[in-house]
Amino acid sequence: MSDITLNAAAANPEATPRNPPVATTGPIAWVRENLFSGWLSTAVTLLLGYLIIRSVVGFVDWAFINAIWSVPVVNGVAQTQSCRELHGAGACWAVVTEKHRFMLFGTYPYDEHWRPAIVCVLFVALYIVSAMRRFWNWTLIPIWAVMLTLIGILMWGGVFGLSYVPQERWGGLPITLILATFGLAFAFPLSILVALGRRSNLPAIKVLCVLYVELIRGVPLISLLFMASVMFPLFLPEGMNIDKLLRAQIAIILFAGAYLAEVVRGGLQALPKGQYEAADAMGLTYWQKTGLIILPQALRLVIPPLVNTFIGFFKDTSLVLIIGIFDLLTAGKTAIVEPAWQGFGVEVYVFVGLIYLVFCFAMSKYSQALETDLNRHSRR
């Protein structure tokens, strides 16, 4: 059979399989079609390429080649003359080298910085474990309980030989992670209940949920934080006080819950009516239908807007500055109040921005992978 095939190929060379021309498929063809398809496209491509290359070269010169990474400290005062002599030609990363512990941990006692550092590691470990689908069951609840107990013990202290650190001394990255993690962890189930309540046939529940969503979404987060800090204590019994971190946490939970509720409601409305009818035909109760049929499909549909909302609220935790809480961004701003470091805010904001970028980019990539995985299983 192989001899016949070879003879046929020799007799008719055009029948032999050949690769398509490089100029019509592959990267070269894509470049020709999308970047150099005409004189205008070519001109725009060359201009943008020049600007990008020039920007990258300028950034490398500023951030690495001409940068200063450390300065001498005399009698506790940083000598920043060498940084100021650059006149913006290079970055003064010495401010990050000198102030990174304050930016990360705020006014937490310097000798105890290992405790909030471990807390940050525990939070990252908690995120990783929660992202693994094999832990998406009741075993995740004890893991959360243990992790959060360790975090509370480490931050507060007062037990196991750890010195007590009041909440007023907390700051930096741990505050951002605490507000974002607890805020979204409690806001998400609240949003599901509110979204279901808005679609309820019981008028009282529906009206309450609508009022909650419209009221919260009608005011900015800053106003809620201000009310939680100033007005909320006025309604408490005399002698009772709630620390401002908890008040800020409650405000963030209520605010995030209202926005997430609308995202979840969009997923519920996007489901075909046949899914509801099929669940009713099977004789399922309301909660069985909702938990087994409706919610899994609705949440899968709205993964992108959900994660987009998560990312937005992770960054919005910086607004707690309004009530005097030192989150990561606020600690970065405070780090350059010292006269020796004034004028080097760009380097500080780049450092803080990179931290936000790492967390937000990780959430974005995980959501893309999760969406792809769930959609693949749903098509089987």
Q: What is the mean pLDDT of residues 198-221?
A: 93
Q: Is the pLDDT of residue 254 over 90?
A: yes
Confidence bin at 20 (pLDDT 50/70/90): low
Q: Identify which of 21-25, 62-66, 241-245 has the greatest average pLDDT.
A: 62-66
215, pLDDT greater than 80: yes
- pLDDT classification of 229: cutoffs 50, 70, 90: confident
Q: Is residue 156 within 8 Å of 311, Cβ to Cβ?
A: no
Query: How far apart, in whole angstroms, are the C-alpha atoms of residue 103 and residue 114?
Result: 14
Q: Who has greater pLDDT, 376 or 223?
A: 223
CA distance 360 to 315: 9
Beta bridge mates, 172 = 327
% of the chain at pLDDT higher than 90: 57
Asked if pLDDT for residue 380 goes beyond 70, the answer is: no
Query: Rg of the chain's alpha carbons, rounded to an integer?
Result: 28
Q: The pTM is what?
A: 0.86
Which CATH number does 173-325 carry? Answer: 1.10.3720.10
The one-letter code for the residue type at 302 is V
Higher pLDDT, 266 or 12: 266
CA atoms within 13 A on the CB side of 144: 14
pLDDT at 377: 54
- pLDDT, one tens digit per residue, over 157-189 is 999 899 999 998 999 999 999 999 999 999 999
Residue 11 in this model has a pLDDT that exceeds 70: no
> CA-to-CA distance for 207 and 217, rounded, in angstroms?
15
Query: Higher pLDDT residue, 17 or 12?
Result: 17
Q: Give the mean pLDDT of the chain.
A: 88
> Which whole number is the average pLDDT over 369-380?
73
Domain ranges of the chain: 20-64, 109-164, 173-325
- To the nearest whole percent, how much of the chain has pLDDT over 70? 92
Tens-digit pLDDT profile for residues 75-125: 777 888 888 887 778 899 999 999 999 999 999 999 999 999 999 999 999
How far CA 28 is from CA of 22, 60, 275, 363, in Å, comes to 7, 29, 47, 33
pLDDT at 379: 53
SS3 content of the chain, % helix, strand, coil (to 5): 75, 0, 25
